[in-house]
A and B are shown apart, each in its own frame.
Chain A
Amino acid sequence: EIVMTQSPAILPASPGERVILSCRASQSVGSKLAWYQQKPGQAPRLLIYDASTRATSIPARFSGSGSGADFSLTITSLQSEDFAVYYCQQYNEWYTFGQGTKLDIK
């Protein structure tokens, strides 16, 4: 099973800041990586797929990069609604998720 490891576990930040969330796979997944956002009491929402393609209606301040085993999600100019938990998921070999990064208000 491909293990996905996200860092950091908790990321304190302030509105307006730029943040970078990391995700590492235990083996190469090519570009078969997605990012999801989850707010309390809600289902995950697809943000990014194929490592760098924004899903429908996702603002341009969200961007994804990377390939192989190392990936990142960058959020520029944080908005209040962006404080949530973010998960990466590989779908190159079945489906596995990272443990999540909680983006907290500083």
Chain B
Amino acid sequence: QVQLVQSGTEVKKPGASVRISCKASGYTFSDHTLFWVRQAPGQRLEWMGWIDAGYGDTKVSQKFQGRVTVDKDTSATTVYMDLSSLTSEDTAIYYCARRGYGSGHLYFDSWGQGTLVTVSS
């Protein structure tokens, strides 16, 4: 079955960077685009960036441009997200989510378990 397993809880100081990983299994890694979505306290879910696991194309939401980098290690079937210049407003749960297969299936059909990132001095 499809599994997305994320790295563990992070505690960072303001100004630092964080790298979160998401290991995919149970399907053909290169067939899907993987997204990063965050859920901050009291805020809506918001997408941050994505990577096409086959071609390697990436896109970062305008809100996070300059702070977010998304990449992958195909041999490890793992995608990564780096978020820099952390502030307390980046305290949130970060999810990786798989987009459905093909251009007609743009919803998120599987999610990782989430990674809590706490930013505190």
Residues of A participating in the B interface, judged by any CB pair closer than 8 Å: 32, 34, 36, 42-46, 49-50, 55, 87, 89, 91, 94-100
Given contact pairs A44-B95, A95-B47, A100-B44, a sample of 17 additional A-B residue pairs in the complex whose CB atoms are under 8 Å apart: A32-B106, A34-B107, A42-B113, A43-B112, A43-B113, A46-B107, A46-B108, A49-B107, A49-B109, A50-B107, A55-B109, A89-B108, A91-B106, A91-B107, A95-B106, A96-B44, A97-B44
In the complex, chain A residues whose CB is within 8 Å of the CB of B46: 96-97
In the complex, chain A residues whose CB is within 8 Å of the CB of B111: 43-45
Q: How many A-B residue pairs have CB under 8 A?
A: 45
| Complexed CA–CA distance, A89 and B39 (Å) | 14
Distance in angstroms from A83 CB to nearest chain B CB is 19
A49-B45 in contact given A43-B111, A55-B109 (Cβ < 8 Å): no
Distance in angstroms from A31 CB to nearest chain B CB is 11
Are B44 and A34 within 8 A (Cβ)? no
| Complexed CA–CA distance, A65 and B77 (Å) | 36
Q: Which residue of A lies closest to B45 (CB)?
A: A97
| Complexed CA–CA distance, A49 and B108 (Å) | 9
| Complexed CA–CA distance, A13 and B61 (Å) | 37
Q: Which residue of B lies closest to A45 (CB)?
A: B111
| Complexed CA–CA distance, A99 and B39 (Å) | 11
Chain B 70-121 interface residues, beta-carbon cutoff 8 Å to A: 95, 97, 100, 105-114
In the complex, chain B residues whose CB is within 8 Å of the CB of A89: 45, 107-108
| Complexed CA–CA distance, A36 and B109 (Å) | 10
In the complex, chain B residues whose CB is within 8 Å of the CB of A46: 107-110
| Complexed CA–CA distance, A99 and B105 (Å) | 23
Are A98 and B44 within 8 A (Cβ)? yes
Q: Which residue of B lies closest to A4 (CB)?
A: B44
Are B105 and A49 within 8 A (Cβ)? yes
| Complexed CA–CA distance, A95 and B48 (Å) | 10
Distance in angstroms from B28 CB to nearest chain A CB is 17
In the complex, chain A residues whose CB is within 8 Å of the CB of B61: 94
Q: Which residue of A lies closest to B105 (CB)?
A: A49
